[in-house]
Chain A
Amino acid sequence: MANATGASRPARGSRRHASVGDRTFDILNYVFLTLLMVVTLYPFLNTLAVSLNAASDSIKGGIHLWPRQFSGENYKFVFGEATIYNATLISVLRTVIGTLVTVFASAMVAYTISRQEYVLRKFVTIAFIITMYINGGLIPNYLLIRDLGLINNFWVYILPGVIGVFNLIIIRSFIEQLPESVIESARIDGAGDFRTFINIVFPLCLPVLATVALFTAVYQWNSWFDVFLYNSSNVKLSTLQYELQKILQNSNTTSSAASAFAGSAASSLKVSPVSIRATMTIVAAVPMIIIYPFLQKYFVKGMTVGGVKG
């Protein structure tokens, strides 16, 4: 938007006056922004290069943007581990199931609190809003999850986070902007609230639901703390992010007990902890890196709709 107006600004007259200053500014600006891109991207590309470089060579250091001694050994090692294979599956499962459940449930509740005639509208809305200000905190939450029998249970990834208040509010605002006539005509045709929601409102909400789905998917894919807290004693329920966290912890504290996986990496000749760390980092990051450029407009929409106004 802003640059469109910039381009249409008259290019004559006063422009020539300030041209030296303006041009200097432009050059410095372009240089600075290019530098910013380098600083942002370099660490990623460097990690990628290390992951594709032979481990025995990486130890010497000096790997920058390109592998010096190209090798696929690190990836072969990582995906040869049953743990990582299984962790990838769990990461995908929690992302898919968590996103579907969150989108459906948030949209449904948002629909009910968008109905002005609903007698419990205020009650439900306020009950949700209060939870933005107050939470029990780590220990009471942990005790609750334990008492519910959700320790060492896949559903601990899904159930505690079904509906986020932020999602609820942006979907409700979206529904309230829909023309009331659409919903009324469905009712005249005899559709009840659930049918109106499924057949009419849900499809119309797809743009905002895409935003919610993407925020949720990123959150689910990137989560590791709930794995650490609730499921760390069951390796079958581990995720990619948590496996990576164990490796980081390992290289941090050098207590090799933290991760049997990293330990076995150290004992193997072809790979090293440093190259495994880089490889796992890439594996855990790549799905998000691939999808975000295509989907960023939905994220941006969600930020500007939800961020400025509630």
Chain B
Amino acid sequence: MDNNDVLAAPAPQLGAKPQPGGLKLFMRRLVSQRMLVLMSVPFVIWLFVFKYVPVWGWTIAFQDYQPSLPFKEQAWVGFKHFHALFSEDRFLIALRNTLAMSGINLVLGFVTAVSLALLLNEVRKVAFKRVVQTVSYLPHFISWVVAAGIIQTTLAPEGIVNELLKAFGAIEAGQEYLFLGKAEWFWGIFGASSVWKDVGWNTIVYLAAISAIDPAQYEAAEMDGAGRLRRMWYITLPGIKPVIIVLLIMNIGYLLESGFEPQYLLGNGMNVDYSENIDIFVLKYGLQQFNFPLATAAGMFKTVVSFILLFSANHIAKRLGQDRLF
């Protein structure tokens, strides 16, 4: 099979300038490492086809794209479709909804997950804690389709939420709310649904960080007469602060990724003004109305802004002396 002598010499770094004769050396190494090449290069080709070729498709955003014409005959129109995009009301609404929902998700997601992790950490009965954790992970493992089915049932006029409201006298029979029909409530329903689905799962990282806190700190605080709430506030919370900050910054990088499935699955004609985000906009204009250039421009705008946000987020996390996420 391959030669063992590849281990003998230190490997040259690719990207380092090949010295005179370097190319020859590089080729010789490549041949002697042909098995590694065979094991990885087919997947680089796969990567190129499925991940890099679509980026070339961004050219559509700068053309008056005609699907029937070959690439060379497409008419180039510069930033025309981007101008159209930003004067399109539906897009501006989608942009607002995207930012609002990812903002809600970010704040609500953090506050609830950190709080739940703190509360779980205070549970002393191991069995009880295990049960709560296992139960709270459950909604994470079901698809958004299943979750949407469950949410629709729960929020239906005959669903449990309306029944509870009736039981507490907040509404009379016959006044049941059609929750998903109230457009201005959609952001709240979306936020609550996301918390329901992922709050347990999101505690994992914080619980791991909490378990790394030195128990001596708690003992010292207890000696000083600090109660439970004070210990949570002055020891646990500062102990996981680095993790919180890194995750917060990284999530800011995903600000334009408000998700697609919950909005699409829970969205309907009545709440469209608050549920339609950029991803749904792209789907509607692209694949339902066949306005490929406008939809591609919207998708490209999202990717480019996300790219800038992610890179800055990574950079800031590094500056703060934390590990980058990737």
Contact = CB atoms under 8 A, between A and B. Distances in A.
Interface residues of B, number: 121
A116 B47 contact: no
A132 to B, nearest CB: 6
A37 B149 contact: no
B137 A296 contact: yes
A50 to B, nearest CB: 7
A114 to B, nearest CB: 10
Contacts of A14: 222-225
A193 B35 contact: yes
Interface of A is mostly: helix
Interface stretch (B88-96, B99-107, B118-126, B182-190): B118-126
Contacts of B246: 308
Contacts of B243: 308
A39 B161 CA distance: 11
B170 interface: no
Given A37-B136, A192-B35, A194-B1, A43 B54 contact: no
B80 interface: no
A60 B282 CA distance: 40
A163 interface: yes
Interface in B293-318: 295-296, 299-300, 302-303, 306-307, 310-311
Interface stretch (A67-75, A81-89, A221-229, A259-267): A221-229
Most buried by B among A127, A190, A193: A193
A167 B11 CA distance: 25
Nearest to A5: B215
Contacts of B29: 119
Contact of A40 (B55, B119, B200, B282): B200
Given A29-B122, A134-B303, A248-B265, A192 B40 contact: no
5 contacts: A3-B129, A136-B299, A138-B279, A190-B4, A225-B261
Interface of A: 1-10, 13-15, 17-18, 21-22, 25-26, 29-30, 32-33, 36-37, 39-44, 46-47, 50, 61-62, 64, 105, 108-109, 111-113, 115-124, 127-129, 131-144, 148, 159-160, 162-163, 165, 169, 184, 187-188, 190-195, 197, 218, 221-225, 229, 241, 244-245, 247-248, 251-253, 274, 277-278, 280-281, 284-285, 288-289, 292-293, 296, 299-300, 303-304, 307-310
